[in-house]
Structure 1
């Protein structure tokens, strides 16, 4: 398991309004708060006027979370290490603590320290383990009350099929799984490419995609992931400092998980697909992108306040996660992850051989039935002494493979009236956002 977040110690910098300057050897806690530029983008005061995430549990499957960090004290629940070594609260590096702080950091003192997007959420720390331990961690988190499972990790030791059962188990229990797409500018990595997972990419403060953010048809949303301040343990990891700053889809994933937790806090009866639906429909459309979802941005950059307040019908239980499952099985060329077509109309059809051929009958008995038919036909031909040359069957030509996802027929039309909310704009000094794209999951009734 790897996270690949590009981190650098905050101790060698001073932060002011999100801008880095070379300076003193240690950053004070209030400078840390000032350096959280994403909080300005989210508009925390507006978001927190609706909810801070009370009553929602988010599992963080990662390298462990430091429960003693000043900005996380009291926010952790008893967690899980699949190998029984207690590493869920004895972190092996700074990564897990950082992700937990972006979700549920509450600061300390008089407005000092860093805060997460959902500071009253409870964190369920789950150690990522080795090999195929992560699916086991998903199921454990579901059984212990998580509503959202944050996986800011990728793995090269297993494929999406190894996560299918665990993710399906989570969805059946109304738990949303959120995972980072990866940080090598390649295809969406496992487990983000597993069916039913909400895959996340990273953008900078100008809402431009981060150059190393992985992309593909599975990508659903993006969030801030460049120059992100996080909490860090003082005794382990590359930071060895109470705070770090770094880049990566890991950070973006934590923010999307926090936003999902906020939606659950206000709308506790929604399914994971319906939570994703609210996030997707209210996302800010990226500049210059004419059609969504986009392989690099998904449906756009999350806007938590709009996700909490927009007038959006609940929609179907699966919502956009149904498209995620379809896309994970079939890419834009109709090829599955193993390189074979997943179109059921193509599977199981044999090309006829050259020369003489006979119609084959499929059914119970397989080869025995075919052999019986051949024997009968030969007998009939021999007895009648009438030989008739069989004509070869035309070669099977599969039709065009449909796109990864199309909305099922009969869905209600997109309502034409506005949501009725006050116009939203970014903080002063940030680029103007475009209105959300009105695509199949934007502004409609699903």
Structure 2
């Protein structure tokens, strides 16, 4: 297998660690500790995010990376004549791979596997967020809303601005949840967004990253030394709240694919109530409203073929299929027939009795 060149990627406000140059692609997969901690192999048996489009606002995505082939579509390039399917800094490629990486090699067993490998990322590149007082970020949110994506991951670092807040409100009205990394918005917090908090492998607040204080909705996710794709067929180990945002946006994609009827605020509330586990007591100001739990979210809501089925629907299905798992039960059929015959006998007897009384 080919050797990998080291790459350093800055994700949100945290430090990225370079992968050793002698690493192999399967070592990358082995290093994805969060796949195990989040029970993602079991979650992927229920949902992979198939059919879901996640809009990503960042530096662009290297769509030619082996782990992102066919996983990324072009959205729009803003604040410069840049291709959204190339990456100027590496942050967009890292986020996209953690979110929806598909790996490569036989059966996709090598490289980065994303939280929602069946989802598609629509890339909107914003090369310089300082230009125009945030107008390009607002334009990116509007573009993705108008494009009808299912989830928006706003991971580009920028300054708070009212046009973007207005765009986020419009996205909420269009039933599109927006995920933002904690600490990526300077000068304020947007409302109606899910704020991503970073934790380490021990589920403790990741030192050096921004806590959850002041966020309307906030969820914590693994974000320390996460293997990720980097431009030029490279890999990097990244840490920070943008990595957490990728995992949370991917979890929303898994839920949405499994339960298409959930959207917008309802999807966010479902994530908070069914797709998280409680944070340690007294840690709410640091870790928010819960630690993300994709498998719990999918196990609660039912599979993609029968999302949220009621007890009555399940009973009806059992009666129609019978005890044999698809073929009618002969004993059940005989019982129904006997009950019908007895009902007819009773009706005939009653009619005769009524007739005698009338004659008398």
Contact 1:75 1:104 in 2 (8 A): yes
Q: CA deviation at 1:44?
A: 1.7
Equivalent-residue separation in structure 1 for 2:301 and 2:237 (angstroms): 36
- Provide, for residues 237-285 of structure 1, a one-character-per-residue CA deviation record: whole Å limited to 9, x for no partner: xxxx611002100100000000011111111122321111122113122
Residue 115 (structure 1) shift: 0.2
Aligned partners of 1:194 and 1:163: how far apart in 2?
9
- Structure 1 residues without counterparts, runs of 5 or longer: 13-24, 184-188, 235-240, 313-446
Match of 1:307 in 2: 297
The CA deviation string for residues 350-407 of structure 1, in whole angstroms up to 9 with x for no partner, is: xxxxxxxxxxxxxxxxxxxxxxxxxxxxxxxxxxxxxxxxxxxxxxxxxxxxxxxxxx
SS at match of 1:299: coil
Q: How many residues align?
A: 283
The verdict on how the C-alpha distance between 1:195 and 1:287 changes in structure 2, with shifts beyond 3 A counting, is closer
Q: What residue in structure 2 maps to residue 167 of structure 1?
A: 168
Higher strand share: 2
Whether the aligned pair in 1 keeps the contact of 2:17 and 2:225 (CA below 8 Å) is: no
Kept in 1, the 8 Å contact 2:224–2:240? The answer is: yes
Pair 1:147-2:145 in alignment? no
Offset at residue 311 of structure 1 (A): 5.3
Of the candidates 264, 271, 275, which is equivalent to residue 263 of structure 2? Answer: 271
Q: Aligned equivalents of 1:3 and 1:311: distance in 2?
A: 32
- Equivalent residue of 1:81, what SS? strand
CA distance in 2, matches of 1:178, 1:191: 17
- Give 1:43's aligned residue: 39
Deviates more, 1:119-128 or 1:270-279: 270-279
After superposition, residues 45-444 of structure 1 pair within 5 angstroms as: 45-83=41-79, 85-110=81-106, 111-129=109-127, 130=129, 131=131, 132=134, 133-156=136-159, 158-159=160-161, 161-182=162-183, 189-190=185-186, 193-215=189-211, 216-218=213-215, 220-234=218-232, 242-282=234-274, 283-289=276-282, 294-310=284-300
Deviation at 1:87, TM superposition (A): 3.1
1:4 and 2:35 aligned: no
**Cα distance in structure 2, aligned partners of 1:105 and 1:191:** 32
Cα distance in structure 2, aligned partners of 1:45 and 1:36: 12
- Tell me the equivalent position of 1:345: none
CA 1:191–1:249: 2 relative to 1, 3 Å = farther
Q: Does the aligned pair in 1 maintain the 2:52–2:253 contact within 8 Å?
A: yes
Secondary structure of 2:72 counterpart: coil
CA RMSD, Structure 1 to Structure 2 (Å)? 2.1
How far does residue 286 in structure 1 lie from its aligned partner after superposition?
2.3
> Aligned equivalents of 1:4 and 1:286: distance in 2?
23
Give the Cα separation in 2 of the matches to 1:191 and 1:53. Answer: 34
TM-score by length of 2: 0.74
On the 8 A contact 2:73/2:85 being kept in 1, the answer is no
Structure whose residues are more often helix by fraction: 2
- Measure the CA separation in 1 of the matches of 2:188 and 2:37: 25
Tell me, what secondary structure is at the counterpart of 2:198?
Answer: strand
Q: TM-score, normalised by structure 1?
A: 0.60
Q: Which moved more, 1:204-213 or 1:123-132?
A: 123-132
Structure 2 regions of 5+ residues with no counterpart?
1-10, 303-360
Task: Describe the superposition over 1:66-104 as per-residue Cα deviations: whole angstroms up to 9, x where unpaired.
Answer: 010000001111221124613311210111000000111
